[in-house]
Amino acid sequence: MTMGVTQCGLTDLLDFQYLYYLPFCEAFVSDDRLHRVLAPVLIGEKQRFVPLSAFKASLRATADFFDAVPEEDRGLVNAAFGGYPPPLPGSILHDMWAGAGGPWSPNAARTKGYTAEQIRRGVEYVFEASADGAPTAL
């Protein structure tokens, strides 16, 4: 059975059913052939379709960023980001998060229990990430 430009396979009914989630999400991540064809046409203007490979690459870049942060600074850096993923250049994960929760601001930081100097160092990580994506020891 064919459907215009694409052939329907045995799992396409299930793939169609996943599209029922579209009205309830801001980002739809998939690498399914049918989703790549239909989701961009069906999503609303405040939604986005993200190919799974691009999403995984963004997750890997975020993990690499935090792996590069010295162990003693990881809690502080996480507090400075306030739960947001780092604003790495081209980060789909950060763009999705900012779209859902608004852009990061210093008020988002969870800095209770840290000294002013520690907070300053944590915020420097935030700005370094948005500049070049590579944290450096402070």
Q: Are residues 10 and 29 in the same domain?
A: yes
- Residue span of the structural domain in which 11 resides: 2-52
The answer on 108 and 92 residing in a single domain is yes
Instruction: Provide the domain count of the chain.
Output: 2
| Percentage of the chain exceeding pLDDT 90 | 16
Identify the pLDDT of residue 6: 55
Q: Do 70 and 39 belong to one domain?
A: no
pLDDT of residue 1: 45
Residues 79 and 126 in one domain: yes
Highest mean pLDDT among 50-54, 90-94, 111-115, 130-134: 50-54
- Decide which of 12, 29, 52 is a domain's last residue: 52
Look at residue 78 and tell me if it is in a domain: yes
**Model confidence at 98: pLDDT above 80:** no
pLDDT(130) > 60: yes
Tell me, what's the pLDDT at 136? 46
- Domain's final residue, options 52, 73, 90: 52
What's the average model confidence in pLDDT over 114-126?
74
Q: Is the same domain home to 48 and 64?
A: no
What are the C-alpha distances in Å from 108 to residues 7, 66, 98, 111, 135? 47, 18, 12, 9, 20
Report the pLDDT value the prediction gives residue 79, as an integer from 0 to 100: 75
Average pLDDT over residues 95-118: 70
What's the average model confidence in pLDDT over 62-71?
A: 87
Which of 134, 128, 122 is CA-nearest to residue 73? Answer: 122
103 shares a domain with 68? yes
pLDDT of residue 54: 94
Is residue 63 located within the same domain as residue 39? no
Residue 94 lies in a domain: yes
In this structure, are 119 and 66 located in the same domain? yes
pLDDT above 70: residue 63: yes
Res 5: pLDDT: 52
For residue 128, the tally of other CB atoms under 10 A from its CB is 17
Assign 3-class secondary structure to the chain: CEECCEECCCCHHHHHHHHHHHHHCCEEEECCHHHHHHHHHHCCCCCEEEEHHHHHHHHHHHHHHHHHCCHHHHHHHHHHHCCCCCCCCCCHHHHHHHHHHCCCCHHHCCCCCCCHHHHHHHHHHHHHHHHHCCCCCC
113 and 98 in a common domain: yes
